[in-house]
Amino acid sequence: MTTMSFREAKSGERACLVLGGDITEEADFAPLLASALTPLVLDLVEVGRINSSGVREWLSFVREIAAAGRPLVLLRCAPAMVHQANMITNFLGGAEVHSVLAPYSCAACDYDHLEEVPTARNEAAPPNIAEQRPCPRCGEIMEFSDLSSHYLAFLNAR
């Protein structure tokens, strides 16, 4: 287990904080709450696992952000976060989710790939998970390795 950490980065022209590691009871959200970034943009690309204590910490974090009236934007939500969002109502609070990471695996070259799927409300087409995509490594067909009908369900439940 690697305890959650974060670093400052840029997503395009926009400043953001990249979260990494596992979200557990040891995760410290105080520095994120203290960040002056407005909106608070979090890139969740490097988040590994989240356990039940981590879920509680995360929920109290999003509640505090919402209570403070601060806009929260989430980029590249890692699969562990998407799974929780699909199980727990309001897991992402009032956050605007700009993209998620969708897990694919290629049987031909034994490669696991995370594809960024845009989910912002202002996208031209509704977000959609392709069952199959060309593998970026070998060019063969790789398959989505989760439930495609369910993966983005949290977007509609909010």
Binding residues (CB under 5 A) for Zn ion: these are: 106, 108-109, 111, 135, 137-138, 140
Q: What SS3 class is residue 123?
A: coil
Instruction: Give the strands of the sheet with 132-134, arranged side by side.
Output: 111-118, 99-106, 141-144, 132-134
Minimum distance from residue 144 beta carbon to Zn ion (Å): 14
Nearest CB to Zn ion, comparing residues 28 and 112 = 112
Q: What SS3 class is residue 51?
A: coil
Minimum distance from residue 106 beta carbon to Zn ion (Å): 3
Nearest CB to Zn ion, comparing residues 103 and 118 = 103
Minimum distance from residue 99 beta carbon to Zn ion (Å): 23
d(CA 63, CA 118): 24
Nearest CB to Zn ion, comparing residues 9 and 108 = 108
Q: What SS3 class is residue 103?
A: strand
Structure tokens at 7: 């670093």
Structure tokens at 27: 């995760």
Nearest CB to Zn ion, comparing residues 42 and 101 = 101
Minimum distance from residue 33 beta carbon to Zn ion (Å): 41
